[in-house]
Amino acid sequence: MKRKAPWAKGHERQDNPNLAGYAVRVSAGRRYPETPHPYRNDYERDRDRIIHSRAFRRLENKTQVFTRRYSDHFRNRLTHTLEVTQISRTVGQALRLNTGLVEALALVHDVGHPPFGHTGEAALGRLMERYGERFDHNLHALRIVEDFEQKYAEYPGLNLTFEVREGIIKHSRDYDPEPYPELAEYRLREKPPLEAQLIDPADEIAYDCADLDDGYEAKLLTVPLIREGVPLFDRFYRAVERKYSAAPEKLKFNEALKRLLDALVTDLIESTEQRLRKAGVRSVGDVRGYFSRLVALGPRVGRESRRLKAFLHQNLYSNENINAERRQIARYVDELFEFFVKRPRRLPPSYFAKTTREPVHRVVCDYIAGMTDNYVQEQHGRFLRRTKKSNE
C-alpha cells in the first residue's frame, strides 16, 4: 500500500474536512489562472505574496496612533497588523473557518493606509474632496494589490484570489452598488464571508487594547483614570490587585489589560457562534445572503467596548500634544499635494507617466498615500524648503 505523505498537499488541504460548513473552501479563482502549488493552498500563497510585497514592508514606517517621536516601543502599523493577525487567527480557528484566508486578510487589511494614520487619511480625503472625489483606504489597498505592486513577470499586481480581493474592500464596510460600477464583480449586494467579517472586530479589539497600553506608557493615561472611565478594566484590575497585591503597578496594569483582551476575544467568538446558530447559517451562501454581518461582540460586552472607545476618544485621541502634531502633519500632506499637482514633472517618472491616463490629482494622491511617515518628512524638506527659498 502506498503511504501518504505526512503533510497533505496544498490543494487537498483547501477542502479540509475540519472546516465548518460556513467556512470558505474553494476559491472562485484568480484573474490570471495559475497551476496549484504542491504544498500551499491558494490562500496560503496569497498570504505569502502579501508578506513579500513592498506595501507590506512599508507598514513598518507608518504611524498607528503615536509617531516615533514618543517612543520606539509603541505600535506602528506593522506591529499592529501582526496583533490583528494573531487575534484573527484565534477567532478563525475557534469558529473553524479557513485560517489561510483569515491570515491573508488580516495581514493585508492596512496596506492601503496613508502615512501618519488617520491624520494622513483625513488630509488626503479633504484634498480629494476639492475634486469631487474621495480617498478610501480599502479601495486604495485594492489598487495596490491589483496594479501598483509590480513584482511578477506573468501579470501586474499580486494576482490574489477573488476572496482576498473581495475581503480587502468589504471587510470593514458595505457599498451601495450604484456609485461603484467598477466594483460590480465583488458582489456588492452580498455580505462578505465570515473570514472577512471577523477582521474588523479583531482590528478594533487589537487597537483599543494597544492604545490603552501605549497611552499608559506615554503617560497620557494613568491607572486611576482608566479605572474610573473603563468599568471592565476596573473589574479586572481589582481581581489582579487581590492576587498580586505586592506587584508593581505596571505589571498589574499588564495583567488587567491581558484579561481585558482575552475577555473581548472570547466574547467575540462565543457571541458569533451563538448568532450563527440562531440564524441557522450553514454555508457561505447563507452568510452572503444574510441581512446583516454575523461576526460581532454580544450586547453586554459590546456596551463595555463602546465605553472603552469613548474613553480613548475623550482622553487619548483628543490629547493636545497629539493634536498639535496632527496639525503639522496635515500641513505637510497639504503642501506636498499642492506642490506635485502644480509640478507633476517632479513626480517619479513612473508616476508622471500615469498622468497621461489619469487626472494629476489622482496620481498625486496615490503617490502620497504610498509614502511612509519618514518619506513625507524627507520629501517635504527636500521640495518645500527649497521652493520657499527660491520664491524669496
Binding site for Mg ion (CB under 5 A): 110, 203
DSSP string, 52-101: TSHHHHHGGGSBSSS-TTT-TTS-BHHHHHHHHHHHHHHHHHHTT--HHH
- HSE-CB at 168 with a 13 A cutoff on CA atoms is 27
For residues 78 and 123, which CB has a smaller minimum distance to Mg ion in the complex?
Answer: 78
Min dist. Cβ of residue 375 to Mg ion (A): 20
Min dist. Cβ of residue 80 to Mg ion (A): 6
For residues 121 and 267, which CB has a smaller minimum distance to Mg ion in the complex?
Answer: 121
Q: What are 242's three cell numbers?
A: 487581590
Min dist. Cβ of residue 84 to Mg ion (A): 6
Alpha-carbon distance of 92 to 194, in angstroms, equals 9
Min dist. Cβ of residue 124 to Mg ion (A): 17
For residues 203 and 214, which CB has a smaller minimum distance to Mg ion in the complex?
Answer: 203
For residues 84 and 276, which CB has a smaller minimum distance to Mg ion in the complex?
Answer: 84
Min dist. Cβ of residue 345 to Mg ion (A): 35
Distances (CA, A) of 330 to 6, 67, 78, 349, 381: 55, 14, 22, 26, 15
Min dist. Cβ of residue 319 to Mg ion (A): 20
Min dist. Cβ of residue 74 to Mg ion (A): 15
Q: Of 194, 211, 217, which Cα lies nearest the Cα of 309? A: 211
DSSP string, 202-253: HHHHHHHHHHHHHHHHTTSS-HHHHHHH-HHHHHHHHHHHHH-TTS-HHHHH
Alpha-carbon distance of 70 to 67, in angstroms, equals 6
Alpha-carbon distance of 231 to 236, in angstroms, equals 9
For residues 127 and 210, which CB has a smaller minimum distance to Mg ion in the complex?
Answer: 210
For residues 172 and 315, which CB has a smaller minimum distance to Mg ion in the complex?
Answer: 172
For residues 110 and 166, which CB has a smaller minimum distance to Mg ion in the complex?
Answer: 110
The strand pairing partners of 76, in sequence order, are 63
CB of 20 closer than 8 Å to CB of 95: yes
Alpha-carbon distance of 177 to 363, in angstroms, equals 25
The strand pairing partners of 30, in sequence order, are 161
